[in-house]
Amino acid sequence: MARITHGIACSHIPVLGYAFDHGKDGEDYFKPAFEGFDWTRQFMEEEKPDVIVLVYNDHASAFDMKIIPTFAIGTGEIYQPADEGFGARPVPPVEGHADLAWHIAQSLILDEFDMTIINEMEVDHGLTVPLSMMYGHVEKWPVKVIPLAVNVVTYPPPSGNRCWLLGEAIARAVESFPEDLKVQVWGTGGMSHQLQGPRAGLINKEWDNMFLDKLIGDTQDLRHIPHIEYLRETGSEGIEMVMWLIMRGALGKSTKALHRHYHVPVSNTALGHLVLEPVDGSVPPSPTLEGNNAAAQALIA
Amino acid sequence: MTDIHEYLAEFDDIPGTRVYTAARARQGYHLNQFAMSLMKEENRKRFHADEKAYLDEWPITDEQKQAVLDRDYNRLLDLGGNIYFLSKVFSSDGLSFVQAVSTMTGMSVEDYQAMMMAGGRPAPGNRSIKDKN
């Protein structure tokens, strides 16, 4: 059976991609940001996960204002890096895992998460920067990726609680996939940052570290933080951290931290990174009719 | 359940911030779609060759057009622009996020960068207009 082995949280600041692509990661300004990923690159080489469910948000690249899906899952075979206005990042195309992705999509819908299904799209820095941070320079990504895009741009984004519940539903879906696969769930974006208006540049180290602390262990406090608290405490773009709660929800009842990194500033943003392992990975059973219906589940098995 | 009116009203209490609400998304729809068009190299070229003419191809208001010509990003936020879409405009000008974002703060780029190096703008004093905290 497929199983969730680890969760990774990571900011997806675009300038990290720029520095990485242009060999500037050793410069004084970027060095402390990049050094915090040395441990993780080593870890990924040893761990070799088969698939990553990569939770991120699109930044006006694949989606414009025409269509705004709250939760969208990529079920395609391959995703090309997007040209975000200054040429596409020189990184390999991202290979999907269509079988597992379709299995998760179907399971989530039966679990009453009304997913948008995407067969073709380009992926922007939100998805490719974390891959570069975790794998370094590669000819081909040594892992398959299931993109899971969340709307955190147009209000209201999903609540933290909803994100946590989605994570639990992803865990149930992965567990019911018959192939033996090591699956990681990544939550990206954040931490505190504000890119607009006279209050731009807001950073809140104290709050960010509280958030990192509470992703570890068995507390569920984070799922109850309202949007207004993210906005006031972490800047208008800090709301991206709700995506980390999808990762946390998928890891089950309790976690331990294997690695933690925090650095200010990278451009306008506080960089946060955490590698988590489930201690008790159990999640509540599906509360839904179809989720508990053997015939419905047999159809997607 | 959350009361949508109370939920939205709280956003106006955050100092120096325009939350990208449905109302702003409606007001700025064509403005943001114009910005999105600059993802394509041929459109960037046409825009920079004659900005006014390019803007006139879009069903956006004169105020919005003027704010684009002025690169007045706070004004553009007020008129429904979203920063991720507006970033296509300043990227096409060759500006980084730090350079463009600093123009909205009333600080010079140097002062803004120095503030970021020193740990950023603190949350205390910047959370709420009414509570002054």
What is the average pLDDT across A251-267? Answer: 97
Cα separation values, A275 from A17, A174, A208, B84, Å: 20, 19, 16, 28
Residue whose tokens read 């974006």: A189
Cα separation values, B38 from A49, B52, B86, B90, B130, Å: 38, 14, 10, 10, 39
Q: Do B77 and A65 touch (CB under 8 A)?
A: no
DSSP state for residue B79 in the 8-state scheme: T
Q: Do A85 and B10 touch (CB under 8 A)?
A: no
ipTM: 0.96
CB-based contact B71:B89 (threshold 8 Å): yes
Q: What is the per-residue pLDDT for A284?
A: 95
Q: How far apart are the first and last CA of chain A?
A: 12
Q: Do A85 and B39 touch (CB under 8 A)?
A: yes
Q: What is the per-residue pLDDT for A255?
A: 98
CATH of domain A3-123+135-197+208-225+235-261+277-300: 3.40.830.10
Omega of the bond prior to A265 within 30 degrees of 0, cis?
yes
Residues forming beta bridges with residue A272, ordered by sequence position = A262
Does A256 score more than 80 pLDDT? yes
Domains of chain B in start order, with CATH, are 19-117 (1.10.700.10)
CA–CA separation, A38 vs A25, rounded Å? Answer: 12
Q: Considering chain A, what is the average pLDDT of its residues?
A: 96
Taking the CA of residue B26 and the nearest CA in chain A, the distance in Å comes to: 10
Residue A286 in 3-state DSSP? coil
CB-based contact A95:A141 (threshold 8 Å): yes
Q: What is the pLDDT along chain B (133 residues), one digit of tens a residue?
A: 789 999 999 999 999 999 999 999 999 999 999 999 998 889 999 999 999 999 999 999 999 999 999 999 999 999 999 999 999 999 999 999 999 999 999 999 999 999 999 999 999 999 999 999 9
Chain B CA closest to residue A57: B84
Chain B CA closest to residue A230: B127
The closest alpha carbon to A191, from A135, A260, A273, A251, belongs to A273
CA–CA separation, B59 vs A148, rounded Å? Answer: 33
Task: Retrieve residue A118's tokens.
Answer: 């995407």
CA–CA separation, A50 vs A185, rounded Å? Answer: 11
Percent of chain A with pLDDT over 70: 100
Residue whose tokens read 């402390």: A32
